[in-house]
Chain A
Amino acid sequence: MVVNEANCDGFIHDIAEQLGRMLPGLCLELKENPGKTELGESFDVWEIDTRELRQSLHNGNFPALPTQYQHHQILFDGQARASALSEKTPTGSKKVFKVAVSDVAQRIDQAIERLDLDVEDYSRVVLLKARACWVYAFWLLDRRQVFLVSVPSRFTKLSEHLQAEKYLHEMDFIVALYDEIERVMVRQNDSLDTERL
């Protein structure tokens, strides 16, 4: 059974109250008028620093680090349509600082369904983001596996491993990510030469 410790968090009512203030303006812009808005699952967010991938391949350590952030699923009329990010404050409370309406929420919802169906043995789970390359995955810490949730097509086109809804051993994930990032990413320092994607 997959265990998501963030779901037990005592701050969820406070998060819901903050979302109640942030969502109406966004919904107004998008002409969304949900009859019922709900706060769904929450996840601790861990981050992979893509600059550390090469080192990780040498030392065999999975290069994910915990962040101060939590991801929150938001349901409009029962459908996962939006998500939010909150940050732990020095006083221990949580402040929501970003809300987004995007398809990523639905993909995460589908991944939740899969994990609950597939995984019978004990494993803690957190949400993993590969920094700056828009890859989302669930990291099953005790299984040393990742389940890919959302992967930009620039990766899926090129890599047979980096495909959504696929389980990978955590280090196979790092190898695949490293290969594709080395292939795709362009870095330049001069601001006028900065290239944006």
Chain B
Amino acid sequence: MDFAELINLFLLTLLTVTGLAIARMRALFPAVMLTGLYSLLSACLFVLFDAVDVALTEAAVGAGVTTILFLGGLALTKPEEKPIRKGRAALALAVTLSTGALLIYATLDMPHYGAADTPVQQHPLRTAYIEGTAQDIEIPNMVTAILASYRGYDTLGEITVIFTAAVGVLALLGSGWRRKRDA
């Protein structure tokens, strides 16, 4: 086991411990803080997997913005979680365990990390993108080339989703400012 694997194992253990702590916690404020920590640990893992773009987003959205939005929601509710009835807890555990078992079963089919014979690596588009970026676009960052140029439609769709989400929030909750002035 080399050093990188050791760090992976360490981070994954911390991730699991944080997840369990969030699940067991009754007080909501520390739980929100721990979700921030969870996101930050995920961001560290993404860096280790060389997905720096995803790590940047996870650190800013997951650890930053989402935590604040959770805190904003917390201001509207009680600081403690409602106690759960015994029967429902057992049912929830059964559902969680079976879903977890299914997910673990699904990972058995997944190719190993960095394997060369996966469909993604063998698809002809891979060479088309890698060689095309240097010729057609002449920028060093392939991720940007694919996101903004080759898959421009997808990115346009993504920002339309964000646009729709913000418009939806505005339509449902209003600006919260004008209504107060009227009242």
A, B from the same assembly:
no
Measured CB to CB, the residues of B under 8 A from A are none
